[in-house]
Structure 1
Amino acid sequence: MSTFTKPSMQKSSRDDAEQLNRAFKGLGCDAAAVVNILALRNASQRDSIQQEYETLFSDDLKKQLAHELHGHLKKAVLLWMKSPIERDVTTLRQALTGPIFDVKAATEIICTRTSSQIRQIKQVYTPTFGTRLEFDIGCHTSDDHKKLLLAFIAITRYDGPEIDSLLVEDDAKAINKIGLKKSGMDESTFIQIFTERSSAHLIALASVYHKMFGKELRKTIKREASGNFKYALLTILQYAVDPTKHYARVLRKATKGLGTDDSTLIRILVTRAEIDLQKIEEEFLKKYKRPLPEVVHSETSGHYRAFLLSLLGSKY
């Protein structure tokens, strides 16, 4: 369920484009006006505004926003103005080849997308950046983490609800054998299961594994795997079992302790705002006993705060 709600008095895309142009005039940008318009428009409306802006002013709205805005607000608004596939492609490229490798962003995007979505990402990635996604993953990741990511984007997984109960039991037994070995972890078994099986299969696997051996699959992964490889396995499993719990957990980690992981905060709120952010909010409150808007308010400031709170449907 989305947190997104249309404003009670919807202006035309032309009116919005003209108001945005006025916000760019003079000394400094009227960031409040930008937030009040764009944060309250859905994807279709944002596309129409961009088209009207180019028609009226012979200029690219996203380029103008990039010029006028700054800091975290700029990053959040520009990501909001992109399509879901464009967001994934841009974030992946920045995560893999930017000054600092953002393992969380790269892993999360790859390991939570369907085979169809990954196919679209790869189709856009190459013409946009002049290189294949596989190449960037190969150059900027390593070891079993690299093997898992490359396998995940290469394999076409079944996304339906049906499962093979015998295969689920076989996978549970194979994982249990890994824990019984004294020679170390068999990474290839985990890579095969977690990159080839459907979400429905992994949900059943977690349940069957617990019934057969009295152990939680998540805890087994934490015990047997390490580093970025462990993070990828947990991301695949947790997202398959419950996406809202997964994102609530990610948001909690991004906002607790000293400092805020603004890149993660922006990525989750922007990409889930028109999908299931309300459910994520509910799960966050249930699990951590604090309203997500309250947390965002305490961790951010200024127009950046106002923009994120608008995505949350809050005037906190």
Structure 2
Amino acid sequence: MATITAKSNFNVAEDATTLREAMKGFGTDEDIIIDILTTRTNNQRQAIANYFKNDLERDLIDDLKSELGGHFEDVIVALIMPPTEYLCRELNRAMDGAGTDEETLIEIICSRENGEICKIVDTYESVYERPLTEHMCSETGGELRRLLTLILTGTRDDSKIINAEEAKEKAQALYEAGEGRWGTHESTFSAILAHENFKQLRLIFDEYKNISGNTIEQALKHELDGDYLDALLTIVECIQSPPAYFAQRLYKAMHGLGTDDKTLIRIIVSRSEIDLEQIKEEFERQYNKTLTSYVEQGETGGDYKKALLAIIK
């Protein structure tokens, strides 16, 4: 369930005019910006942005950037961007410049089914005039690169059909590629986890436990390590429960020294119209604290914190 739903009696001209007035003259009314943009769906925000462009002859994002700053600006701009374009920007940021943020690549690419991946791939090339797969391949290596390439090239089965006999065969293949041999045959793990549809993978994982006595997570942790392990575990966790996976990511982003603000913003904004309510429930179940209280007690402050809390509700 979403925390942001469509506002009834939505009036695009009224919202756009109110936002423009909040940014005109001396000072900015941040509360108005938060109130409007965190209570409208992305489709409604796109309508507001289009009104700015066509009727006010202004760019909403440029106006916001000229008035805001820091992580508060990051949240508000993320809300205004079309969702797929926003994820593509996050992927580009993860690969641009020195070093690569593999955690972000893994979170975005390994948590989504084929339909979403196809939209991301098409949008990335349109926006950055470079194929996402090519860019990713230039920034990663080894088994992680092979796995992400398989996912990005759309090899996952879209049928949602399950086959019990094939599940047993694939579970046996996974066992023989890892626990059942000396050494690990990583390509088998990549091929199966990147090709099979999510419903079939659930069945394969059930069969794996029948064969091995261990869960697929236990087997992966025993056989593999590093970013490749994290990528495979992300697939497994998102097949079992995307809200549980994203709750863990949010906790990790806020726990310990410092806050991973990019991850915090990305998950809260990108899941706000999908399953942020369930993520909140999972967060409380796993950590005995509400997500709201964790954000309130965290290092974030001011209008940035207000905006996050308004999205979380």
Question: TM-score normalised by the shorter chain: which range applies?
Answer: over 0.9
Two-structure CA RMSD over aligned residues (Å): 1.7
| Cα deviation, residue 98, structure 1 | 4.3
Structure 1 runs (4+) greater than 3 angstroms displaced = 5-8
| Cα deviation, residue 49, structure 1 | 1.2
State how far apart, in whole Å, the 2-side matches of 1:36 and 1:225 are: 46
Counterparts in 2 of 1:298-309, with a 5 A limit? Answer: 298-299=297-298, 300-309=300-309
Judge conservation of contact 2:5–2:273 (CA < 8 Å) in 1: no
State how far apart, in whole Å, the 1-side matches of 2:80 and 2:102 are: 24
Judge conservation of contact 1:73–1:307 (CA < 8 Å) in 2: yes
| Cα deviation, residue 138, structure 1 | 0.9
**Corresponding position of 1:235:** 234
Judge conservation of contact 2:125–2:131 (CA < 8 Å) in 1: yes
State how far apart, in whole Å, the 1-side matches of 2:107 and 2:278 are: 19
| Cα deviation, residue 26, structure 1 | 2.8
**Corresponding position of 1:143:** 142
**Corresponding position of 2:111:** 112
| Cα deviation, residue 6, structure 1 | 5.7
Where does structure 2 lack aligned partners over 5 or more consecutive residues?
A: none
Name which of structure 1's ranges 269-278 and 31-40 shifts more when overlaid on structure 2.
31-40
Over residues 195-216 of structure 1, what are the superposed CA-to-partner deviations in whole Å (9 max), with x where a residue is unaligned?
1011111111221111222101
Distance 1:196 1:285, change over 3 A: same
Distance 1:5 1:84, change over 3 A: closer
**Corresponding position of 2:58:** 59
State how far apart, in whole Å, the 2-side matches of 1:11 and 1:174 are: 54
Judge conservation of contact 1:53–1:59 (CA < 8 Å) in 2: yes
**Corresponding position of 1:103:** 102
SS at match of 2:259: coil
SS at match of 2:179: helix
| Cα deviation, residue 31, structure 1 | 2.1
| Cα deviation, residue 281, structure 1 | 0.6
SS at match of 1:137: helix
TM-score (normalised: structure 1): 0.93
Counterparts in 2 of 1:157-168, with a 5 A limit? Answer: 157-168=156-167
State how far apart, in whole Å, the 2-side matches of 1:134 and 1:54 are: 33
State how far apart, in whole Å, the 2-side matches of 1:190 and 1:212 are: 16
| Cα deviation, residue 161, structure 1 | 3.9
Over residues 10-67 of structure 1, what are the superposed CA-to-partner deviations in whole Å (9 max), with x where a residue is unaligned?
5622122122112222344332221121111112221221122223421110121122
**Corresponding position of 1:169:** 168
Where does structure 1 lack aligned partners over 5 or more consecutive residues?
A: none
State how far apart, in whole Å, the 1-side matches of 2:210 and 2:170 are: 13
SS at match of 1:4: coil
Q: Which amino acid aligns with 2:306?
A: A
**1:76 is aligned to 2:81:** no
Q: Which amino acid aligns with 2:179?
A: G
TM-score (normalised: structure 2): 0.94
Judge conservation of contact 1:79–1:270 (CA < 8 Å) in 2: yes
**1:225 is aligned to 2:224:** yes
Q: Which amino acid aligns with 1:14?
A: A
Judge conservation of contact 1:159–1:199 (CA < 8 Å) in 2: no
